[in-house]
Chains A and B, each alone.
Chain A
Amino acid sequence: MQKNRIVITGAGVISAIGVGKEENLRSLQSCAEGVAPVRYLQTEHTECMVGEVKLTNEEMMDRLGIPGTTPVVRTSLLGMMALKEALQEAGLGQEDLSQMAFINGTTVGGMDKSEQFYLDFLKEPVEPNAPVAYIKSHDCGSSTDMIADYFGRFGMTTSLSTACSSAANAIILGARMIASGEYERVVVGGAECLSKFHLNGFNTLMILDREPCRPMDATRAGLNLGEGAAYLVMESEASAQERGAKVLGVLSGYGNACDAFHQTASSPDGIGAYLAMQQALEKANLQPLDIDYINCHGTGTPNNDPSELKAMHRLFGNILPPFSSTKGFTGHTTSASGSIEAVFCLLALQNQFLPVNLHFVSPICDEENVSAVNVPVTATTQHLQQPVHRVLCNAFGFGGNDSSILLEL
């Protein structure tokens, strides 16, 4: 009945809770959180809790077979680790890339190196040993191309940069490219490393919690930043059938709307979030009751969570489908969160379980709607092993760049 379905035939992920899908799945199912005090990032804010990938750049380069002297930024290393897994699972090699597009979401890009060498670059005359190569790798597009070129020659590459919804928007562009017939196969997702720059940025906005974050909880006091990368290989169903690729899931809907409220805060009524989810349902031709699970953006900031809940209630009514934020596991992986959490949703579909919302104790009350039920999935409130067929995955960014994607088994 449905023609031109967009199917997922490969997925790869790296986050604070593991390298690869297996490790991430095990951590999600055993409630093993990856957020911990700062260990790798060079910062004065050692009191911060962060979701770091537990590998140094050198360790990742070693695993990727990249010579130690190569100038490479951490965002790209994370991206390569995840992309390698996704391509391998999809059974795609170097010779397939020219017929594929690589769409990457990132905002930090090569800032990790820029902040390290910035003053050296500005010295007059320039510091003789200043690694000028890192000027070229500063911008978002360069991080993307560094990832792409490690694997060979993609037909095209581009980068979305809508802050924390970048990867979700990369997925959406990829879907449109397949739907239009421009490409049969695309790789979409995002990569982002921690940087002193955005850790301090979020710190000045006073939205970092010094404790492990408590998304969707009444006592939430901010987010923990995280890092990582994840990619999905998406293709037209015809392409997957033709080459006999195993289908992991179907991308059946997506929505992107702008809150148009504030540069860093979400609107009280969550209009952008509501529209994004509503469009995703409409695109998939589904009703709210069809949704078995929502992976919330759920950052744990005082502002985001009630706004998102408001949007969910507007769409789903007082009783919500099971929902959780997995940011207690990984921290907020900003530009990569949309694809990391999409992979988590895929894992939930394939393994028929609900990821829990860590550190939840008491629900957020909505004074205007006291009958709204705001209890997320926790190990005690829910039977975690249950049928999951259709899930929504939310990613919202600064500037009200709100996106939602709908995945089906």
Chain B
Amino acid sequence: MRKIFVQAANQISIQQPLCNDWVEHPIVYSEPFCRSIDPDFKPYVSPVEGRRMGKILKRALAVSLQTLRDCQLEKPEAVITGTGLGSVESTEAFLLDMCQNGEQLLKPTHFMQSTHNTIGSLVAIQTQCHGYNATYSHKQISFESALYDAWLQLKAGEIGNALVGGHDGTTPNYFRLLELADYVGNGMQGTCGEAAMAALLRTEDQTFANSPLCELVSVKLLHRPTREQWQTVIASMQLPEDLVVFSGENGHPANDALYAELLPAILPGKATIPYKRWFGECFSASALGFYAAAEYIHLGKENNALLLTLDRAGDAALVLLKR
């Protein structure tokens, strides 16, 4: 089977954007909810175009284009995107207008940008990429679902590279809804953030000037697995001894309990790095966890990393990265 590499990756989050300052100097937050730190978008989007785009679109475009530039690649062979909510800002604007003012004088822009696949399509339009294009929206494992699709196609040799992204925004109103649903807040010892992350994956058949960040070994998606199924999956992955788990604790008791219960049972004795302490929680937080793990391996801080994502509704994902 072909080897697959993570060639480059970039993020915009509640840490300094488009760089890895967070590794040495993470910004520490005590607020329950923070918006991302935006970079200067001028190198990626013209001001005229930018005015018509919601924040999530500008961020997605910036991380995508920067990642392609890092690879000196004009366009990828495929664009595969994960997003839990799509452009929640646009969805909210249209919804609020409709609920408050009725159905007669609504404007199309917010609706056009509210569709989940707006993000992936924009990247395709900007890069003139007619290749495979898909968007996954499956809560906390939206990004891993996109990764899974890319991994299948790369392994099979159907494509040689793919730009895989994970993007979600959080608005004050949506944060309030998440609090009501007890997903975040309510005494949570952590922050709710936003995510924009794009990574270029490639097979070993393609060569690039720079060395890759790490190897992507496997991606597994699970739904309400029993303990027995967990054991089977872990065994099938042939995990290296020297392994650190990038785990999704976010400071919320109900969420963290999932990890506290599972980790000692299926991955006893493995060190964990709860990456959300840097990036906060949102539906695409695991995309940042993936990026952080890749970056850690690239910097030589770890040799092998397993990204573990658990959703309170029962979805789960495992991603194995290797030097």
Interface residues of A (CB under 8 A from B): 43-45, 98, 102, 107, 109, 114-115, 118-119, 121-122, 126, 132, 135-136, 138-142, 144-145, 148-149, 153-163, 169, 173, 176-177, 179-180, 182, 196-198, 200-201, 203-205, 256-264, 271-272, 275, 397-401
Contacts and interface: CB of A to CB of B under 8 A. Distances in A.
Contact of B98 (A200, A256, A259, A272): A200
A220 B133 CA distance: 29
Interface of B: 79, 83-86, 94-96, 98-100, 102-104, 106-108, 111-118, 120-122, 124-125, 127-139, 141-142, 145, 148-149, 152-153, 155-156, 173, 176-178, 180-181, 183, 221-224, 226, 229, 283, 313-315
19 contacts: A118-B99, A135-B181, A139-B139, A145-B313, A145-B314, A158-B141, A161-B86, A161-B117, A162-B120, A163-B116, A200-B111, A204-B107, A256-B132, A258-B130, A258-B132, A260-B127, A263-B112, A399-B118, A399-B124
Contact of A122 (B106, B122, B124, B176): B176
A138 B116 CA distance: 13
A79 to B, nearest CB: 14
Closest 8 pairs (CB-CB, A-B) = A399-B121, A201-B111, A141-B138, A258-B133, A204-B108, A141-B139, A140-B137, A161-B137
Contact of A397 (B84, B98, B117, B145): B117
Given A118-B95, A145-B314, A154-B223, A160 B134 contact: yes
A173 B178 CA distance: 30
Contacts of A140: 116, 137-138
Given A161-B116, A162-B116, A180-B156, 11 more contacts: A126-B180, A142-B313, A155-B229, A157-B223, A173-B134, A201-B114, A257-B131, A260-B128, A399-B117, A400-B133, A401-B135
A97 B136 CA distance: 22
B222 A156 contact: yes
Contacts of A153: 223-224, 226
A155 B223 contact: yes
Nearest to A45: B103
A158 B138 contact: yes
B98 A197 contact: yes
B138 A159 contact: yes
A205 B111 contact: yes
B127 to A, nearest CB: 8
B234 to A, nearest CB: 15
A145 B314 CA distance: 9
Contact of A135 (B112, B138, B177, B223): B177
